Structure 1
Amino acid sequence: MLKRLAQVVSALAIICSFAVPSASAQPDFGSEYTPTQFGPLGPAGRDMLVKVRLAGLWEGPAGRLGLQKSSNPRVKEAGQHLIDGHRELDAKVIELGRTLNVPLPSEANADQQGWIAEMTNAPAGSAEFDRIFANRLRAAHGGVYKFLAVVRTGTRNTLIRDFAKRCMEVVLDHIQVLEATGMVDFNDTQAIPLAALAAPAPSPTPAAVPTVPQAAPVVPRTQNIAQQDANDDYSDGLLGVLVVVAVAGGIYLWSGGRPRRSSRE
């Protein structure tokens, strides 16, 4: 009897070893993904860290210009929100860059430096400064907000997901205070790319469609992720069937493989 029981246990162990994948194995997302203890880090996650760092390098200084040069209290309020928000995000993105080994820029790019130059050259206390301030910053925040939503939805890295959520909260706050200045021109489709995307095109010709910078990357490998989940479900179902078969075989072995004799014999 004990020998048969040992045979059943051994059979179950062998079946489970083939049916269950190793717990330490991680799905292969491709060479562009880096495995970390927080989940795979892909191109979109790295790009998010770079973009947030770049945003802080020009939007923080832009906020200080708003405090210094505007006579509009709402512009000054928006400037203070920019300073406070990017102080928080700058500290966090530098920390995440070190943790995830992502190199980050140390100066704003050429476009961002040009926007700062526009604000610097606009007369202090003028409506021109306030318009440049509100529209340039609102356009930038609109594009970044869409990009963050894509990353937040598609990433499997918990650090990136949590940081994207916080960035979206800060960016939405900045959008709201910039719009509250009353200086945002939603008819300016070059300054506000979201308006261009929402408006129907007057003509099917390419010349009639305004050029809109594309900030959001392709969502990384969501189809492969779904396929991986389906394969996991298939493996679980297969394991269940094999266990039932093994138990039935064990009962058969336990009984000696012979039908029970009738009490009349």
Structure 2
Amino acid sequence: MLTRLTQVMTAVAVLCSLAMPSAFAQPDFGPDYTPTQFGPMGPAGRDMLVKVRLAGLWEGPAGRLGLEKSSNPKVREAGRHLIAGHDELDAKVLELGRTLNVPLPTEASADQRGWIAEMTNAPAGSVEFDRIFANRLRAAHGGVYKFLAVVRTGTRNTLIRDFAKRCMEVVLDHIQVLEATGMVDFNDTEAIPLAAIAAPAAKPTAVTTVPQFAPNVPRTQNVAQENESGGTDALLGLVVVAAVIGGIYLWTVGRPTRSRSSRQ
């Protein structure tokens, strides 16, 4: 009896070792994806890190201009939120760039430098400055928020997913304080070309331009199909293992009974 029980346990161990790899192996997402311990790192995740870094390179300085040049307390409050939010996101995005091996830009794009120049050239304490500040930044944050939502929805990388969530919280806070200034013109859809803000950045080093919108998001439909297929294979493997265990158990238990019956 002990020998047969040992045989059953050995068979179960072998079957489980054969079934597990197929059930839990990561799907192949293609050459644009890099496997990491946090899940596959794809183009959308890399684009997001680059864009968050680019945003910090001009929105943090814009916040400081709001504090220095505006006499409107609501604009100054928005400036404080921008500085605090981008200090946090800048530190985190640089850390993630190192962890996930994503090179990040070191200077703002040409368009972003132009928006900073507009604020710099506007008279201090003027309504003109406050309007430029509120509308440029509100339009930029609106475009980034939409892009982050797409990445958050589709990514399979847990670090990117968590960071996208935090970025969306910070960006939404900035949108709200900018709108609270009362200076946002919701009819001014041309204030900043939102398509350019949400576009994937060029492959790093120093980034000077932001291309037209064509975000590379993970193939969520294919991922769902692969996950469904993997789940089906795992379930089938477990059914087979259960059937084999049941058969061996019945054979082990039933055989001695038949032997005793024949001797009687």
User: TM-score w.r.t. structure 2 length?
Assistant: 0.82
Q: Which amino acid aligns with 2:165?
A: K
Per the alignment, residue 235 of structure 2 pairs with: 237
Compute the displacement of 1:81 (Å): 1.2
SS at match of 2:104: coil
Compute the displacement of 1:77 (Å): 1.2
Distance 1:244 1:217 in 2: 46
Per the alignment, residue 42 of structure 2 pairs with: 42
Distance 1:215 1:177 in 2: 27
Q: Which amino acid aligns with 1:50?
A: V
Aligned Cα root-mean-square deviation (Å): 2.7
Q: What does 1:1-265 correspond to in 2, within 5 Å?
A: 1-2=1-2, 4-21=4-21, 25-191=25-191, 217-254=215-252, 255-256=254-255
Contact 1:141 1:171 in 2 (8 A): yes
Please give the per-residue CA displacement for 1:211-239, whole angstroms capped at 9, x wherever unaligned.
Answer: xx975725302122212221232123212
Percentage of identical aligned residues: 76
Contact 1:78 1:178 in 2 (8 A): yes
Q: Which runs of 5+ in 2 are unaligned?
A: 195-210
Per the alignment, residue 202 of structure 1 pairs with: none
Distance 1:5 1:240 in 2: 20
SS at match of 2:98: helix
Task: Report the CA distance shift for 1:259/1:193 in structure 2 as closer, same or farther (over 3 A).
Answer: farther
Contact 2:74 2:181 in 1 (8 A): yes
Q: Which runs of 5+ in 1 are unaligned?
A: 195-212
Q: Which amino acid aligns with 1:256?
A: R
Distance 1:177 1:215 in 2: 27
Contact 2:43 2:217 in 1 (8 A): no
Compute the displacement of 1:259 (Å): 5.7
Is the deviation greater in 175-184 or in 151-160?
Answer: 151-160
Is the deviation greater in 36-45 or in 6-15?
Answer: 6-15
Distance 1:14 1:74 in 2: 68
Distance 1:248 1:158 in 2: 39
SS at match of 2:124: coil
Is the deviation greater in 246-255 or in 41-50?
Answer: 246-255
Please give the per-residue CA displacement for 1:108-143, whole angstroms capped at 9, x wherever unaligned.
Answer: 001101111111121222211111111000000001
Please give the per-residue CA displacement for 1:62-93, whole angstroms capped at 9, x wherever unaligned.
Answer: 11111222221111111111111111111111
User: TM-score w.r.t. structure 1 length?
Assistant: 0.82
Distance 1:257 1:31 in 2: 58
* Residues matched between the structures, number: 246
Contact 1:53 1:105 in 2 (8 A): yes
Distance 2:32 2:257 in 1: 59
Structure with the higher fraction of residues in helix conformation? 2
Task: Report the CA distance shift for 1:29/1:262 in structure 2 as closer, same or farther (over 3 A).
Answer: same
Distance 2:256 2:193 in 1: 76
